[in-house]
Amino acid sequence: MPGGVIIGQYYPARSFVHSMDPRAKILISIMFMIILFSGNNFYAFLVVGIYAAASIILSKVPWTVVLRGLRPIAFIMLFTLVLHLFLTPGPVLFQLGPLKATWSGLVQGVFIGVRLIILILFTSLLTLTTSPIELTDGLEDILKPFSRLGVPAHEIAMMMTIALRFIPTLLEEAERIMKAQMARGADFESGNMIQRARGLVPLLVPLFVSAFRRADDLAMAMEARCYRGGEGRTRMRQLRFGAKDFLAFAVTLVMLVLVIYTRVRFGPVISPGTF
């Protein structure tokens, strides 16, 4: 089948964020999460929100694409909002049967919701602006110091690379086997849950058989090219920190300082005695 499948959600473009070192992007994403969760008031969110919005604008990824990342968590957000609204003690806002909605619940729910939105918007930027290959390269480099502790950094990265490489291949294969079984009268669409699950056997068995055979062939082909794990292996794409990356780290540190300032200056959004 021509065309092919788009893996992950990488959005190709030329931008400040795209050209950053993947390691910098991964580390900044982790720092961002820590800073976001240490913010305990809406002023902190203002700081973090501006930072996230600026990053998204710099990445040249259209807002519609970034906002799409919120769709899967919309339900969870609504759910936490409702839970907080009714389960937080405090002055009553309105009453629904035995359930009491409170002011503090509303504030708490909105607070958690905003935090989640900022979190998803910013972290989705990592996979939107970094190709899967860059991502695994970066991850391998970051994990390397831990290899002394027994973390198989190179192996993890290689596994991820291979897995990503074979997603489209396996999808194509699944489609082919499905058609072959449909030609034998197999039915993948109708019936109840149990019948449908049973109907998958003619698809899954051949798919697994061929995946194992492929894995065998690939291992052989890699060994034939002298692959012996990561030891002493050089890289074609060398990762290098540049001025952009240091600038990004610096701005992130400024944000950290600002968020700490809001903690000291304004305190938590809900504290005993707010209402």
Q: Contacting other proteins (CB under 8 A), which of 3, 12, 98, 150?
A: 3
Distance (Å, whole) CA 88 – CA 33:
25
With tokens 């991502």, the residue in question is 135
Q: Whole-number minimum distance, CB 206 to other proteins, in Å?
A: 5
Identify the sign of the CA torsion 103, 104, 109, 111: positive
For other proteins, the closer CB: 217 or 223: 217
Q: Does 181 bind other proteins (CB under 8 A)?
A: yes
Question: Strand 99-102 relative to strand 92-96: parallel, antiparallel, unpaired?
Answer: antiparallel
Beta-carbon-side half-sphere exposure of residue 238 (alpha carbons within 13 Å): 4
- Write the single-letter amino acid at 235: R
| Cα–Cα distance for residue pair 113/119, rounded to 1 Å | 10
The DSSP code sequence of 161-215 is HHHHHHHHHHHHHHHHHHHHHHHTT--SSSS-HHHHHHHTHHHHHHHHHHHHHHH
> Does 4 engage in binding with other proteins (CB under 8 A)?
yes
Stretch that binds other proteins, among 57-65, 102-110, 160-168, 173-181 (CB under 8 A): 173-181
The residues in 126-155 that bind other proteins, with binding defined as CB under 8 A, are: none
Which of the stretches 36-44, 48-56, 116-124, 177-185 binds other proteins when contact is defined by CB under 8 A? 177-185
Stretch that binds other proteins, among 111-119, 132-140, 174-182, 243-251 (CB under 8 A): 174-182
Q: Does residue 176 interact with other proteins by CB under 8 A?
A: yes
The least distance separating other proteins from the CB of residue 210, rounded to whole angstroms, comes to: 6
Q: Which is nearer to other proteins, 201 or 221 (CB)?
A: 201
Name the residue nearer to other proteins (CB basis): 185 or 272. Answer: 185
Phi–psi pair at 92, nearest 5 degrees:
-80, 135
- Per CB under 8 A, 186 contacts other proteins: yes
44 touching other proteins, by CB under 8 A: no
Residue 109 half-sphere exposure, CB side, CA atoms within 13 Å? 20
Provide the residue type at 39 as one letter.
Answer: G
Q: What x/- string results for residues 207 through 246 when contact with other proteins is judged by CB under 8 A?
A: --xx------------------------------------
Interface residue list for other proteins (CB under 8 A): 1-4, 176-177, 179-187, 201-202, 205-206, 209-210
